[in-house]
Amino acid sequence: MKKIAIVFTILFFGFVNLNKADEGMWIPLLIEKFNIEDMQEKGFKLSAEDIYSINKACIKDAIVIFGRGCTGDLVSDQGLLLTNHHCGYGAIQKHSSIEHDYLTDGFWAMNKTQELPNPNLTVKFLNRIEDVTDKVLGNVAENLSEKEREVIIVANIEKIKTEAIGETQLIASVKPFYYGNQYYLFVYEEYKDVRLVGAPPSAIGKFGGDTDNWVWPRHTGDFSIFRIYADKDNKPAEYSPDNVPYKPKKFLPISIKGINEGDFTWVLGYPGGTMQYITSDAIKLIKDVRNPDRIMLRDKRLDVMNAYMDRNDTIRIKYASKHARISNSWKRWKGEIIGLERLNAIDNKVEFEKEFNEWASNHNEYKNVVSELTNIYGNIEKYVVAYDYYREAIMAVEIVNFAARFNDLIKMKDADIEKELRDIKIEELKKRMQDFYKDYIQSIDQEIFNELLPMYYSNVDQEFIPDLSGLGLSDNYSQFIESLFSSTIFNNKDKMLELLNSESEDNFKVLENDPVFKFYKTFNELYTNEVFPVYDSLDNRANNLYRNYMKGIMEMQKHKVLFPDANFTMRVSYGEVKGSYPRDGVEYIYQTTLDGIIEKDNPNIYDYDVPDKLKDLYKTKDYGMYEVDGTVPVCFIATNHTTGGNSGSPVLDSEGNLIGLNFDRVWEGIMSDMVFDPEQSRNISLDIRYVLFIVDKFAGAQHLINEMTIIE
């Protein structure tokens, strides 16, 4: 089901005068047309073709989609790749145990035979971009219904993708821009053998933990190192010990010359999604309803997890990745509320909408678009609340979410599906089971369930409360939940494996009649029948209106250059290294150093317990070529417009050399997905000199340094 544009994956429209081009995430294909002169005036020393070209190796060939939501950067001719520690966190955690606690101790492969494979981890290289707007919309008539329009567009897109990849193993994607007023084709090549090479201990890679997340000053060594492998012909291949290191078309040279305030800097990566210039009603819904609800629900989950993780190292390892995923958005939502209020965002958007409506009064096509969107927001709110509680209270319970994965298998019972296809599904579920049980603690899940279920029943509209009396729910939620856990098969790994390995048809009945599965199914049916149909109807109407609204703004703002919203396609953003003044009497300088890490050292707090070896290096001042003024630079801030997905993106200097890894934004500018504030919006980057210092001096992995091209 599509996420509603105005609520969940809101495609933003933005318009910007290139005199303030720190704002914007630009399509590499169009840099020559829209940005190169401005970039060069600000200090950029390369050409547009150095960034993106299909005729020669260029910087885009050194950048990958890492996993499902991050960016990675090639830094050697042997497929060596840098990304953030939090991007590699899941892989590091999966390899960790009490015996080999790579989260706490770090991991360093001292030769290629020690590098660790990661099933299901892939990287994608961008092959090319093409404007396919005419191909997608060329035969879409004005008088078509929206349903007819969508059928034609989907068919056109499938044809474009098929023709783009032919008989190759390439992957094609066609993405809408400006709410579907334009379309671009992206062709990728995917490599499936990606191995863990190095990761600092979490006391470096996650230094400061949740306390420092989204804030400046920052002292986090947020990096990890992987290597891409290929077959003997340098082509993608599944993992094999016979694979060899990938030889890239291009890799990034690394500059340790240093940075200064005012230096030109730019980011090339895969920002996931932004919402700039959504309407005032959308902001109200996010700021006053969605974010507070989701924060409250995640507060409960995190409180339970923290209590267990603080007193048990095994649990800390098992739940580290889960905790990080939950807390990241939880803290961001808090910052968004503060930032939107500080900028008076709702009133400012109301003023823009008045201006638009005044212009639209002379353009019939756009006359009522804002008021119709307002009407949709009024109707959608209770469905949004129900959706958020379904996701954050019901499906956030691990065992319920796990049981939901078996729904497709159970449906196969009555369907005319060959046994071979069922067996494939069963094998897929067995693999998922291994991951689930490896990191599952029932007592945590049950305690979270006890907190969340009453909140659902107290805060969701009565029409979205399912009847669970048949499962034994009365006023005693705790007793009901205890009964579910004591009678379900889903919390028993051995019984689940025995059941899936058996070929008896009765196994389907066991799964279907399981109380936890029935609990999931009851909620799922309610949402499928009562929430999603209305939601989809409003969603479709909103998409149509936003497409028209965007078209109107493009006409109204002809004198301005518009940048498209982020949608996890490759983008260029650029700005300068710059500090900020977040509030009266406070100045943030642009850089932090190793001195600040030592100042924060606290052995009694896991996230601030600086490793002894790092403290020894500080005492002896053994900094090597990474020393600057008696210390080592750690992080810096700049005005580049970034968002989620830019994690791991290379931060580059005017000559295209790697100077840092983007990993975060500052708290005061965290609302930049919706409103970019040039005074406060800053991206936080890890200084590449600190990366090299840790690899070289802390880990003793000089062989990795030797692979790289270092510019002094």
Instruction: Please state, in angstroms and rounded to a whole number, the distance separating the CA atoms of residues 173 and 187.
Output: 6
Q: DSSP 3-state assignment of 35?
A: coil
- Contact predicate 409/429, CB 8 Å: yes
In the three-class reduction of DSSP (H, G, I as helix; E, B as strand; rest coil), residue 129 is classed as strand
CB neighbour list of residue 279: distance below 8 Å, 6 or more residues apart: 6, 349, 353, 370, 373, 374, 377, 549
| Strand ranges in 200-318 using DSSP code E only, listed in sequence order | 224-230, 244-245, 254-255, 264-269
Task: List helix spans (H) across 474-602.
Answer: 477-487, 493-501, 506-512, 515-526, 532-556, 594-600
Residue found under tokens 């008045």: 354
Q: How far is 300 from 304, CA to CA, in rounded Å?
A: 6
Sorted by sequence, the CB contacts under 8 Å of residue 143 that are 6+ apart come out as none
Residue 432 C-beta-side C-alpha neighbours within 13 Å: 17
C-alpha 261: how far from its chain's center?
29
Side-chain-side CA neighbours of residue 463 (13 Å): 6
Kindly name the residue from 647, 654, 672, 681 that is annotated as catalytic. 647
Provide the β-strand partners of residue 314: none
- Interatomic CA distance for residues 300 and 451, integer angstroms: 7
Dihedral (CA of 16, 22, 24, 30) sign: positive
Instruction: Report the alpha-carbon distance of residue 182 to residue 567 in Å, rounded.
Output: 13
Q: In the block, which residue shows the tokens 């109407």?
A: 541
Neighbours of 496 (CB within 10 A): 21
Query: Are 148 and 228 a contacting pair, CB within 8 Å?
Result: no
How far apart CA 692 and CA 41 sit, in angstroms, is: 31
Q: Which of 222, 281, 293, 565 is catalytic?
A: 222
Rounded to an integer, what distance in angstroms lies between the CA atom of residue 187 and that of residue 132? 12
Q: Quick check: is 86 catalytic?
A: yes
The Cα–Cα gap between 592 and 685 comes to 11
Which among 274, 276, 277 has a CA at the least distance from the CA of 355? 277
Measured in degrees and rounded to the nearest 5, phi and psi for residue 541 equal -65, -40
458 is catalytic: no
* Cα distances (angstroms) measured from residue 542 to each of 278, 504, 536, 549: 12, 48, 10, 10
Q: Which residue in 23, 222, 227, 33 sits closest to 117, CA to CA?
A: 227
Helix, strand, coil tally for the chain in percent (to 5): 50, 15, 35
Annotation marks residue 22 as catalytic: no
Sorted by sequence, the CB contacts under 8 Å of residue 235 that are 6+ apart come out as none
Residue 186 forms beta bridges with which residues?
129, 173
Active-site residue list: 86, 222, 647
